[in-house]
Amino acid sequence: MPLMCVVPPGLDFRNLKLDKVQEVAESVESNPVWPLSQSQEKPEPPIWKEVFKFLSNPRKPVILALSRPDAKKNITTLVKAYGQNETLRELANLVLIMGNRDVIESLPKGSRSVLMDVLKLIDSYDLYGYVAYPKRHRQDQVKDIYALVERSRGIFINPALQEPFGLTLIEAAAYGAPIVATKNGGPVDIVSTLKNGLLVDPLSETEIGDALVKILTEKNLWEEFSANGLANIGAYSWTAHCAKVLNHLEQEKKYIQSIRYITPFGGSWDDRYYKTHLKNVPESEEIHAKSPGDYTSMDDHDVKFDPESRLAEEERDAGMPRVALRERLVIALLDNTPLAKQALGHLRSIVQTAYGTKSEHRDDSKVGFGIASMLSFDATCSLMERTRLKVADVDFLICNSGADLFVWSGGDEMTSYEPYDIHIDERWNKDHIERVLGRICANNTEKRNLLINIKGTSTGHFHIVKEVAKQPIENVDDVSVADRVRAKLREVGIRVGCIQQVDKTKRGWEVSPLLHITPIRASRPLAIRFLVQRLGISMENVVMLCIASSIKSSQQQAISKESMTVGFVTSDADALVGGAQRVIIVPPSKENRMRDPKDNLDQKMMQKLSYECGSNIFNERVVLLNGKNTKIDDEIQKLLPAFHIEDED
């Protein structure tokens, strides 16, 4: 399992007017008397007047709670804590901002119940003149409410039974207000980071009251918490959030690089070693993320494979995959049987150009070849044999829509790549998914449900393939079988990858698709990225060769000559074409060209599998060949320097 890091979200403080708050904080530090005296020239904000009309002595410090009237927010316990603590009542006023209301009877039942309980407690403890609960406030007045706490040297409190994050605590801290918060949930991390308050048991009225009294009475504690909040609030800015995410990614990359050759390609991933290694990493070691546009560890790895080293010899003897020696990759995409034949023919030509007649060049070349196929391993190898491309000429095979990854190791055949199998096995239960699919088909009788007549067989432990019968549906905009199946499975808590594939039968192109279901971590794009990251190869040194099902241009596109509409037959095409890798798109041969479907639903389906491609969209990263230019190896030579073997020597 990869390292799990929790990074709090960033906040936009521009609307809080922190410069004004900082000025007030400085004035308070120099003059501990509350600066809002009646003689001040600046008028008080209107929301303050709404609060003050409830209070007998409005110049006392304010204890503020700001939340909707919800039982989970635990406002009633706060009122009890305030009412039971005579010292606290003498020291401060309690201000409850509980949303907006006209009349209590108009509120939802839960909110109405909380408000009624609060009013009964105020009456029970005789807190009239001590507690303010204004009926309304505008969003732009929230900053004035926070400022009231800081200007009165008060406290902001969140006594919720459970708080997932605690946004209001951070906003209050941005104004220099000390905080008291529940010890359940996100406030624990906030208080630990900002060092500006105390944590309490939300079910203990005594603990809540004592914490508030402590901040109000203990010498210099209020000033310390206020200053800490202002000094550390930058930890929750969007800039800090992005820096933390990038730093965690850089540290994860550095760790992966450090174990690249500790865990051989042919061996299994030992999670115990992973955890042990992390415990030994010094906490003081900082990994600094680079600025956008700079090279990162994905571009220039610190750990390089030295073929002359003793470790390299040991791993070679242990069966290290041949692909580990490569620095650049050419990958052919096999989307279905007819297009696969054409792609393999082009790949065979490229391999012959690279290796010539000297097969020993395969082991020493810096350029490797691979295949990413929607088909099974046996079907892919059969097609390679029919197109006279040797399995030994490629370094790896990705099959079954990315569910299987095979590499050429020290033996004479392709072997399953075990680290990838372990990686994608997370939360995958094939038998359970098969049963759920069966129940979905059995329990749904609506005509528009595309799962009713599913039939098919599985082809591997991590792969389920289904043939979907065409069904009449009412909403022509909702024709994606993959999206519908994925949504159905998510409703019962199952997350999987779903890829839709258009195939060709004896009757011609059949738009009614095949559906490939894989683990959530498995797909052709994810398998390629997994392998590339393990090798330490930049995606810019990867070239993908794909065969389109159609290439057309609208009247406007024909005039601009900058882009064309390219049709594909798999729903993962966008992830394969997008990214930093280079892509060569080849038009289909005459017999493989897909004609426009007559059925409206089929037209919608093909539109979902069509994308606009051209230099104005992808710059020079994506090369779209026309029918007159099919010299694929020449195009790869341009995209991938030092492609030919003789150039490397």
Mean per-residue pLDDT for 71-84?
95
pLDDT at site 539? 86
pLDDT at site 630? 52
- Indicate whether 641 pLDDT > 70: no
Residue-wise pLDDT tens digits, 298-349: 333 333 334 333 333 434 444 568 888 888 899 999 988 888 888 898 888 8
Pair (186, 48) in one structural domain: yes
pLDDT at site 155? 96
* Cα–Cα distances in angstroms (integers) from residue 255 to residues 247, 425, 518, 567, 602, in the given order: 12, 22, 28, 40, 48
- Indicate whether 131 pLDDT > 90: yes
Residue 546's identity, in one-letter code, is C
Residue 246's identity, in one-letter code, is L
Pair (410, 478) in one structural domain: no
What is the rounded distance in angstroms from the CA atom of residue 122 to the CA atom of residue 627? 83
Pair (195, 274) in one structural domain: no
Residue-wise pLDDT tens digits, 14-54: 655 554 444 444 444 444 444 444 444 567 889 999 999 99
Pair (436, 581) in one structural domain: no
Q: Give CA 624 to chain center in angstroms.
A: 31
- Indicate whether 612 pLDDT > 70: yes
- Across the chain, what does the average pLDDT equal? 76
What is the rounded distance in angstroms from the CA atom of residue 461 to the CA atom of residue 421? 10
Pair (93, 230) in one structural domain: yes
- Both structure tokens of 569: 């037959």
- Both structure tokens of 109: 């039942």
Does some domain include residue 387?
yes
pLDDT at site 280? 45
Length in residues, the chain? 649
Mean per-residue pLDDT for 415-432?
88
pLDDT at site 165? 87
Percent of the chain exceeding pLDDT 90 equals 33
Q: How confident is residue 256, by pLDDT bands cut at 50, 70 and 90? A: low
309 or 209, which is more confident: 209
Highest mean pLDDT among 16-30, 95-109, 441-455: 95-109
pLDDT at site 275? 44
Q: How confident is residue 446, by pLDDT bands cut at 50, 70 and 90? A: very low
Mean per-residue pLDDT for 579-599?
75
Q: Of the candidates 101, 95, 209, which has an alpha carbon nearest to the alpha carbon of residue 144?
A: 95
pLDDT at site 647? 40
Pair (93, 211) in one structural domain: yes
What is the rounded distance in angstroms from the CA atom of residue 517 to the CA atom of residue 347? 28
Pair (578, 611) in one structural domain: yes
Host domain of residue 167: 14-236
Mean per-residue pLDDT for 229-244?
87
Q: How confident is residue 104, by pLDDT bands cut at 50, 70 and 90? A: confident
pTM of the full structure: 0.53
598 or 429, which is more confident: 429
Pair (585, 641) in one structural domain: yes
Mean per-residue pLDDT for 188-207?
94
pLDDT at site 93? 96
pLDDT at site 277? 43
Q: Of the candidates 181, 229, 232, 190, which has an alpha carbon nearest to the alpha carbon of residue 8?
A: 190
Does some domain include residue 206?
yes
What's the structural domain count of the chain? Answer: 4
Per DSSP, the three-state class of 113 is helix
Point out the domain boundary residue: 317, 349, 368: 317
Helix or strand holding residue 373 (H, E): strand 367-373
DSSP code of residue 419? H
Is the separation of the CB atoms in 409 and 415 below 8 Å? yes
What is the rounded distance in angstroms from the CA atom of residue 644 to the CA atom of residue 424? 35
Helix or strand holding residue 185 (H, E): none
Rg, Å, the chain Cα set: 33
Residue-wise pLDDT tens digits, 351-382: 887 776 555 556 778 888 999 999 989 999 99
Per DSSP, the three-state class of 496 is strand
Q: Is the dihedral of CA 250, 252, 253, 257 positive or negative?
A: positive
Point out the domain boundary residue: 219, 236, 253: 236
Pair (381, 475) in one structural domain: no
Least confident interval from 127-131, 497-501, 527-531, 565-569: 565-569
Does some domain include residue 3?
no
What is the rounded distance in angstroms from the CA atom of residue 619 to the CA atom of residue 603? 29
Tell me the pairing of strands 197-200 and 131-132: unpaired
Does some domain include residue 1?
no
Mean per-residue pLDDT for 448-453?
45
Does some domain include residue 557?
yes
Does some domain include residue 257?
yes
Does some domain include residue 4?
no
Helix or strand holding residue 620 (H, E): none
Least confident interval from 112-116, 207-211, 273-277, 583-587: 273-277
Q: How confident is residue 266, by pLDDT bands cut at 50, 70 and 90? A: very low
Does some domain include residue 590?
yes
End-to-end alpha carbon distance in the chain: 40
Q: Of the candidates 417, 421, 426, 379, which has an alpha carbon nearest to the alpha carbon of residue 395?
A: 417
491 or 303, which is more confident: 491
Pair (155, 25) in one structural domain: yes
Instruction: Identify how many contiguous H helices and E strands the chain contains and give both numbers.
Output: 26, 21
Domain harbouring 69, CATH code: 3.40.50.2000
What is the rounded distance in angstroms from the CA atom of residue 79 to the CA atom of residue 90? 14
pLDDT at site 5? 74
pLDDT at site 476? 41
DSSP per-residue codes, 235-285: GGBHHHHHHHHHHHHHHHHHHHHHTTTTS-TTS---HHHHHHHHHTS-TT-
Mean per-residue pLDDT for 534-539?
85
Point out the domain boundary residue: 236, 263, 279: 236
Q: How confident is residue 95, by pLDDT bands cut at 50, 70 and 90? A: very high
Domain harbouring 334, CATH code: 3.40.50.1000
Pair (330, 355) in one structural domain: yes
Residue that is written with structure tokens 């199946």 in the block: 485
Pair (358, 450) in one structural domain: no
Mean per-residue pLDDT for 225-245?
89
What is the rounded distance in angstroms from the CA atom of residue 569 to the CA atom of residue 547? 10
What is the rounded distance in angstroms from the CA atom of residue 469 to the CA atom of residue 482? 13
